[in-house]
């Protein structure tokens, strides 16, 4: 295939605060993979940008297609959450491979809020922020709620079904955040197998994009979120044939984002 006709081969589509930065970092070290010139290109999930550049010149300007032997990829974790993005990706390349990293939604929600707080996008305490989440996101319609969707992003089952509606199972890889964090060599072996590239010869575990927490998630708020996600997590177990019993336990992760 000529350079002009080449397409992106894979995308890390989610989830936000699930370890996509770490996976993007690792894959940039692989000799057979070329990642976009930046993480989070945000092409398929931005309506104005997508419709303006549908000729793909803007999107493809983020990639180096010069080496025909390399696999080309990018990481934009909002894609999984954006319904329009998945359809657009399918229309772009129906044979593309997609990787989704899923994190305990309780921990993901608090990490998302903490990131927004540190970036000066959020001034509300966590409990107030999630109480007002629906109202704040409705004010942003019809645009995707990037900033305040702390709990909503953790309802993965509909996002998983959406991916499965457009793409067959051989083109989808779902990973657990804990696996990538605690056993990166094993997790990355599953990724390189999925992408049909050689395994990493050596990999050094690295904490990427970790930020401090001012406070731990309170027991009260943790219990509220556990009850909120109880049925949702059971749906995810059925969809992916995973045992997520540890996600339903009232115990915190180690403090990292």
What tokens does 218 get? 């309170």
Greatest alpha-carbon pair distance for the chain in Å reads 57
Q: Residue 207: is its pLDDT beyond 80?
A: no
Residue 39 lies in a domain: yes
Task: State percent of the chain over pLDDT 70.
Answer: 91
Q: Flag the least confident range among 8-12, 61-65, 205-209.
A: 205-209
Residue 200 lies in a domain: yes
Residue 254 lies in a domain: no
Query: What are the pLDDT digits (tens) for 24-40?
Result: 999 999 999 999 999 99
Q: Residue 234: is its pLDDT beyond 80?
A: yes
* pLDDT interval class at 209 (50, 70, 90): low
Q: What is the mean pLDDT of the chain?
A: 90
Q: Which tops the pLDDT comparison, 52 or 25? A: 25
For 96-108, what is the mean pLDDT? 97
Query: Among 76, 80, 47, 74, which residue's Cα sits nearest to residue 60?
Result: 74
For 245-255, what is the mean pLDDT? 72
Which domain covers residue 119, as residue numbers?
3-248
Residue 150 lies in a domain: yes
Residue 257 lies in a domain: no
Query: What are the pLDDT digits (tens) for 107-157?
Result: 999 999 999 999 898 999 999 999 999 998 888 776 667 788 999 999 999
Q: Flag the least confident range among 5-9, 228-232, 247-251.
A: 247-251
Q: Which tops the pLDDT comparison, 50 or 186? A: 186
pLDDT of residue 151: 95
What tokens does 250 get? 């009232």
Residue 255 lies in a domain: no
Q: Residue 253: is its pLDDT beyond 60?
A: no
Q: Residue 42: which CATH number?
A: 3.40.50.300
Per-residue burial over 85-111, b if 16 or more Cβ lie within 10 Å, else e, is bbebbbebeeebbbbbbbbbbbbbbbb
Domain count, the chain: 1
Residue 11 lies in a domain: yes
Residue 100 lies in a domain: yes
* pLDDT interval class at 256 (50, 70, 90): very low
The 10-14 sheet, strands edge to edge: 33-35, 71-75, 10-14, 97-102, 172-176
């Amino acid at each position: 295939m000529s350079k002009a006709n080449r397409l992106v081969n894979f995308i890390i589509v989610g989830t936000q605060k699930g370890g996509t930065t770490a996976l993007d970092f690792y894959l940039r070290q692989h000799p057979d993979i070329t990642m976009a010139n930046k993480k989070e290109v945000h092409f398929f999930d931005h309506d104005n940008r997508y419709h303006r550049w549908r000729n793909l010149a803007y999107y493809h300007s983020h990639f180096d297609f010069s080496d025909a032997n390399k696999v080309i990829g990018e990481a934009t974790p909002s894609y999984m959450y954006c319904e329009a993005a998945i359809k657009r990706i399918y229309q772009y390349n129906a044979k593309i491979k997609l990787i989704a990293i899923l994190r305990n939604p309780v921990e993901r929600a608090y990490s998302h809020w903490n990131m927004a707080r540190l970036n000066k996008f959020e001034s509300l305490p966590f409990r107030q922020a999630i109480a007002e989440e629906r109202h704040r996101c409705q004010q942003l319609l019809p645009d995707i709620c990037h900033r305040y969707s702390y709990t909503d992003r953790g309802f993965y089952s509909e996002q998983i079904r959406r991916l499965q509606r457009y793409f067959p199972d051989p083109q989808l890889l779902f990973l657990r955040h804990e696996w990538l964090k605690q056993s990166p060599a094993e997790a990355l072996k599953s990724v390189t197998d999925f992408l049909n590239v050689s395994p990493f010869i050596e990999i050094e575990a690295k904490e990427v994009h970790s930020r401090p927490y001012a406070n731990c998630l309170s027991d009260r708020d943790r219990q509220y979120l556990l009850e909120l996600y109880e049925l949702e997590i059971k749906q995810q177990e059925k969809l992916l044939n995973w045992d997520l019993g540890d996600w339903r336990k009232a115990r915190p992760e180690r403090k990292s984002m």
